Amino acid sequence: MKIGILGELTRFEELKQTLPANADIIYNELKLPETFGNYDFVFDLNFDDHPTRLDGYLEAPYETLFVLSSALLEIQSLMTDIPLSNNIFGMNCIPSFMHRKVKEISYRNEAQKNIIPLLEQKLGWEIAPVKDRVGMVTPRILFMIINEAYYTLQEGTASKTDIDTGMKLGTNYPFGPFEWSEKIGIKTVVKMLQNIYDDTKDERYKICSLLKSESYQA
Protein backbone atom coordinates (compact mmCIF):
# COMPACT_ATOMS: atom_id res chain seq x y z
CA MET A 1 0.00 0.00 0.00
CA LYS A 2 1.40 3.38 -1.05
CA ILE A 3 0.53 6.43 1.07
CA GLY A 4 1.40 10.04 0.29
CA ILE A 5 1.42 12.56 3.14
CA LEU A 6 1.53 16.34 2.92
CA GLY A 7 1.84 18.56 6.00
CA GLU A 8 4.09 19.82 8.76
CA LEU A 9 6.58 17.38 10.25
CA THR A 10 5.07 17.17 13.75
CA ARG A 11 1.66 16.17 12.36
CA PHE A 12 3.32 13.69 9.99
CA GLU A 13 5.15 12.00 12.87
CA GLU A 14 1.90 11.70 14.85
CA LEU A 15 -0.02 10.20 11.92
CA LYS A 16 2.80 7.87 10.90
CA GLN A 17 2.60 6.06 14.25
CA THR A 18 -0.96 4.97 13.43
CA LEU A 19 -0.36 3.71 9.87
CA PRO A 20 0.30 0.08 8.87
CA ALA A 21 3.96 -0.86 9.41
CA ASN A 22 4.24 -2.35 5.92
CA ALA A 23 2.94 0.76 4.12
CA ASP A 24 5.15 2.54 1.60
CA ILE A 25 4.96 6.09 2.96
CA ILE A 26 6.01 9.07 0.83
CA TYR A 27 6.31 12.31 2.80
CA ASN A 28 6.69 15.81 1.43
CA GLU A 29 6.23 18.71 3.84
CA LEU A 30 5.31 21.29 1.20
CA LYS A 31 3.63 19.55 -1.69
CA LEU A 32 2.91 16.18 -3.23
CA PRO A 33 3.85 15.30 -6.83
CA GLU A 34 1.79 16.83 -9.62
CA THR A 35 0.37 13.40 -10.43
CA PHE A 36 -0.80 10.97 -7.78
CA GLY A 37 0.10 7.89 -9.77
CA ASN A 38 -0.59 4.69 -7.91
CA TYR A 39 -1.15 6.15 -4.43
CA ASP A 40 -3.75 4.22 -2.45
CA PHE A 41 -4.14 7.05 0.07
CA VAL A 42 -3.16 10.70 0.20
CA PHE A 43 -3.31 12.59 3.51
CA ASP A 44 -3.24 16.39 3.52
CA LEU A 45 -2.64 17.32 7.16
CA ASN A 46 -2.83 21.08 6.59
CA PHE A 47 -5.75 21.25 4.17
CA ASP A 48 -7.66 23.53 6.58
CA ASP A 49 -5.08 26.24 5.87
CA HIS A 50 -4.78 25.55 2.12
CA PRO A 51 -8.30 24.72 0.84
CA THR A 52 -7.43 25.72 -2.75
CA ARG A 53 -5.63 22.37 -3.03
CA LEU A 54 -9.06 20.78 -3.43
CA ASP A 55 -9.03 21.54 -7.16
CA GLY A 56 -6.04 19.23 -7.64
CA TYR A 57 -7.64 16.44 -5.63
CA LEU A 58 -10.82 16.65 -7.67
CA GLU A 59 -8.81 16.01 -10.85
CA ALA A 60 -6.95 13.01 -9.41
CA PRO A 61 -7.73 9.34 -10.19
CA TYR A 62 -10.82 8.05 -8.41
CA GLU A 63 -8.87 5.00 -7.18
CA THR A 64 -6.88 7.22 -4.81
CA LEU A 65 -8.58 7.91 -1.48
CA PHE A 66 -7.95 11.43 -0.15
CA VAL A 67 -8.16 12.19 3.56
CA LEU A 68 -8.02 15.93 4.20
CA SER A 69 -7.60 17.78 7.48
CA SER A 70 -10.94 19.56 7.70
CA ALA A 71 -11.91 20.15 11.34
CA LEU A 72 -11.70 23.91 10.74
CA LEU A 73 -13.98 23.95 7.70
CA GLU A 74 -16.75 22.21 5.80
CA ILE A 75 -15.48 20.60 2.60
CA GLN A 76 -18.83 20.67 0.82
CA SER A 77 -19.07 24.45 1.20
CA LEU A 78 -15.88 24.90 -0.84
CA MET A 79 -17.47 23.52 -4.00
CA THR A 80 -21.16 24.37 -3.82
CA ASP A 81 -21.72 24.14 -7.58
CA ILE A 82 -19.70 20.97 -8.23
CA PRO A 83 -20.51 17.59 -6.66
CA LEU A 84 -17.48 16.27 -4.83
CA SER A 85 -16.09 12.84 -5.61
CA ASN A 86 -16.83 10.19 -3.02
CA ASN A 87 -13.10 9.43 -2.68
CA ILE A 88 -12.50 12.70 -0.77
CA PHE A 89 -12.95 12.50 3.01
CA GLY A 90 -12.36 14.88 5.89
CA MET A 91 -10.48 14.05 9.08
CA ASN A 92 -9.74 15.60 12.45
CA CYS A 93 -5.96 16.14 12.10
CA ILE A 94 -5.57 18.64 14.93
CA PRO A 95 -2.33 17.96 16.87
CA SER A 96 -2.78 15.41 19.69
CA PHE A 97 -5.92 13.91 18.08
CA MET A 98 -4.50 11.68 15.33
CA HIS A 99 -2.92 9.15 17.69
CA ARG A 100 -6.24 8.57 19.49
CA LYS A 101 -7.69 5.07 19.22
CA VAL A 102 -10.80 6.25 17.36
CA LYS A 103 -10.35 8.56 14.35
CA GLU A 104 -13.05 11.02 13.24
CA ILE A 105 -13.63 10.81 9.48
CA SER A 106 -16.27 13.03 7.88
CA TYR A 107 -18.61 12.16 5.02
CA ARG A 108 -21.03 14.20 2.91
CA ASN A 109 -23.58 11.59 1.81
CA GLU A 110 -24.67 8.03 2.59
CA ALA A 111 -22.85 6.56 -0.42
CA GLN A 112 -19.59 7.98 0.88
CA LYS A 113 -20.34 6.84 4.43
CA ASN A 114 -20.58 3.28 3.09
CA ILE A 115 -16.97 3.50 1.89
CA ILE A 116 -15.62 4.20 5.40
CA PRO A 117 -15.44 0.48 6.37
CA LEU A 118 -12.97 0.10 3.49
CA LEU A 119 -10.78 2.79 5.07
CA GLU A 120 -10.98 0.95 8.41
CA GLN A 121 -9.96 -2.31 6.79
CA LYS A 122 -7.05 -0.93 4.77
CA LEU A 123 -5.63 1.33 7.49
CA GLY A 124 -6.40 -0.92 10.46
CA TRP A 125 -8.19 1.95 12.21
CA GLU A 126 -11.31 2.25 14.29
CA ILE A 127 -13.26 5.11 12.69
CA ALA A 128 -16.14 7.20 13.98
CA PRO A 129 -18.02 8.53 10.89
CA VAL A 130 -19.22 12.12 11.39
CA LYS A 131 -21.03 14.52 9.08
CA ASP A 132 -19.07 17.13 7.16
CA ARG A 133 -19.42 20.09 9.55
CA VAL A 134 -17.07 22.69 10.98
CA GLY A 135 -15.59 21.36 14.23
CA MET A 136 -16.77 17.77 13.68
CA VAL A 137 -17.68 16.30 17.13
CA THR A 138 -14.76 15.95 19.54
CA PRO A 139 -13.16 19.32 18.67
CA ARG A 140 -16.48 21.09 19.25
CA ILE A 141 -16.73 19.62 22.73
CA LEU A 142 -13.09 20.12 23.68
CA PHE A 143 -12.77 23.65 22.32
CA MET A 144 -15.95 24.69 24.12
CA ILE A 145 -14.42 23.35 27.35
CA ILE A 146 -11.21 25.30 26.71
CA ASN A 147 -13.25 28.45 26.14
CA GLU A 148 -15.20 27.91 29.37
CA ALA A 149 -11.94 27.32 31.24
CA TYR A 150 -10.72 30.73 30.10
CA TYR A 151 -13.96 32.32 31.32
CA THR A 152 -13.39 30.64 34.70
CA LEU A 153 -9.81 31.94 34.79
CA GLN A 154 -10.92 35.41 33.73
CA GLU A 155 -13.43 35.52 36.60
CA GLY A 156 -10.65 34.64 39.07
CA THR A 157 -12.40 31.47 40.23
CA ALA A 158 -9.29 29.29 39.92
CA SER A 159 -5.78 29.20 38.46
CA LYS A 160 -4.78 27.43 35.25
CA THR A 161 -3.10 24.67 37.26
CA ASP A 162 -6.14 24.16 39.48
CA ILE A 163 -8.50 24.03 36.50
CA ASP A 164 -6.27 21.56 34.65
CA THR A 165 -5.99 19.34 37.72
CA GLY A 166 -9.71 19.49 38.41
CA MET A 167 -10.63 18.56 34.83
CA LYS A 168 -8.21 15.62 34.71
CA LEU A 169 -9.41 14.25 38.04
CA GLY A 170 -13.09 14.90 37.32
CA THR A 171 -13.29 13.71 33.70
CA ASN A 172 -10.25 11.43 33.36
CA TYR A 173 -9.10 13.48 30.34
CA PRO A 174 -5.40 13.00 29.51
CA PHE A 175 -4.82 16.77 29.68
CA GLY A 176 -6.46 19.77 31.28
CA PRO A 177 -7.95 22.47 29.02
CA PHE A 178 -4.92 24.78 29.26
CA GLU A 179 -2.46 21.93 28.71
CA TRP A 180 -4.48 20.83 25.70
CA SER A 181 -4.62 24.35 24.25
CA GLU A 182 -0.82 24.48 24.40
CA LYS A 183 -0.49 21.18 22.55
CA ILE A 184 -3.00 22.26 19.90
CA GLY A 185 -1.79 25.85 19.62
CA ILE A 186 -3.79 28.72 21.03
CA LYS A 187 -4.17 30.40 17.63
CA THR A 188 -5.78 27.22 16.29
CA VAL A 189 -8.13 27.16 19.30
CA VAL A 190 -9.26 30.73 18.58
CA LYS A 191 -9.66 30.09 14.86
CA MET A 192 -11.69 26.94 15.51
CA LEU A 193 -14.02 28.64 17.99
CA GLN A 194 -14.56 31.55 15.60
CA ASN A 195 -15.33 29.21 12.70
CA ILE A 196 -17.78 27.18 14.79
CA TYR A 197 -19.46 30.33 16.05
CA ASP A 198 -19.77 31.68 12.51
CA ASP A 199 -21.32 28.37 11.45
CA THR A 200 -23.73 27.92 14.37
CA LYS A 201 -24.16 31.36 16.01
CA ASP A 202 -24.19 29.40 19.27
CA GLU A 203 -23.15 31.62 22.20
CA ARG A 204 -21.25 28.70 23.75
CA TYR A 205 -18.55 29.24 21.15
CA LYS A 206 -18.23 33.00 21.56
CA ILE A 207 -14.55 33.51 22.30
CA CYS A 208 -13.55 34.58 25.80
CA SER A 209 -11.72 37.92 25.67
CA LEU A 210 -8.84 36.56 27.81
CA LEU A 211 -8.35 33.67 25.37
CA LYS A 212 -8.40 36.07 22.45
CA SER A 213 -5.86 38.41 24.07
CA GLU A 214 -3.49 35.51 24.88
CA SER A 215 -3.65 34.38 21.26
CA TYR A 216 -2.38 37.80 20.16
CA GLN A 217 0.72 37.27 22.30
CA ALA A 218 1.40 33.72 21.09
Domain 138-217 falls under CATH 3.10.105.10: no
Q: Could you report the per-residue pLDDT of 45-74, keeping only the tens digit for each? A: 999 999 988 888 887 777 889 999 999 999
Span(s) in the chain for CATH 3.40.50.720: 2-131
What percent of the chain is predicted at pLDDT more than 90?
A: 74
Question: Where does 2-131 sit in CATH, by number?
Answer: 3.40.50.720
pLDDT of 81 strictly over 80: no
pLDDT band of residue 140 (cuts 50, 70, 90) is: very high
Span(s) in the chain for CATH 1.10.1040.50: 138-217
Q: Could you report the per-residue pLDDT of 152-181, keeping only the tens digit for each? A: 999 999 999 999 999 999 888 889 999 999
Q: For residue 35, what pLDDT is reported? A: 67
Greater confidence, 40 or 38? Answer: 40
For the chain, the DSSP string reads -EEEEES-HHHHHHHHTTS-TT-EEEEESS---SS-TT-SEEEETTGGG-GGGHHHHHTS-TTSEEEEE-TTS-GGGGGTTSPPPTTEEEE---TTTTTSSEEEEEESSHHHHTTHHHHHHHHT-EEEEEES-TTTTHHHHHHHHHHHHHHHHHTTSS-HHHHHHHHHHHH--SS-HHHHHHHH-HHHHHHHHHHHHHHH--GGGSPPHHHHHHHHH-
Q: For residue 82, what pLDDT is reported? A: 63
